[in-house]
Amino acid sequence: MGKVISFQIKSKIENIYSVERAILEQASQFGFDSESRFCLRLAMDEAFVNAIIHGNGNAAEKNIYVKAHCDCDRIEISIRDEGNGFDLSVLNDPREEPFLFETHGRGVFLIRQFTHELHFNDKGNEIIFVMNRAQPSALS
């Protein structure tokens, strides 16, 4: 049997840490190893930063909505902001010139590397990513 936890937080960096701790605690209780939890935390960090900066435009009065479904097999996390969304097809590959030396533009790429599944809603203001316990982490 799994557990679903939901959060609504104001769009400020300092608000993400308690949410991350709660989700990581659930991951631990459901048997996810430290490497998987580390990858999960990195993915959450990137998704939250994207939601705050790009989605909500650093507007502290806007909200971020988080839902995590955890069970013994997988963790699915959705993070939705109040922004206008974006078109995934316009993202550049940060491994290619001339983007290789950019100081931004790696968030979605990193999330894709650290998780097993990655989806966006049609509007582009919600990211959903999955970690499967049976699959090795990106660090394995």
pLDDT at 140: 75
In a domain, 140, yes or no: no
- Provide the residue range defining the domain that includes 40: 3-132
In a domain, 137, yes or no: no
Which CATH number fits the domain that encloses residue 97? Answer: 3.30.565.10
Is 111 part of a structural domain of the chain?
yes
Domain count of the chain?
1
Digit-coded pLDDT (tens) for 31-65? 999 999 999 999 999 999 999 999 999 999 999 99
The answer to the question of residue 128 being in a domain is yes
Residue 26 inside a domain? The answer is yes
**Full-model pTM:** 0.91
Q: Is pLDDT at 135 greater than 80 in this prediction?
A: yes
pLDDT at residue 92 tops 80:
no
pLDDT value, residue 105: 67
By CB atoms closer than 10 A (0-12, 13-18, 19+), residue 85 is middle
How far is 95 from 8, CA to CA, in rounded Å?
34
Residues 6+ apart with CB under 8 A from 104: none
Q: Which two tokens stand for residue 51?
A: 């939601």
User: What are the DSSP calls for 31-54, one per residue?
Assistant: T--HHHHHHHHHHHHHHHHHIIII
Position 139 in a domain: no
pLDDT at residue number 122: 94
The yes-or-no verdict on residue 104 having pLDDT over 70 is no
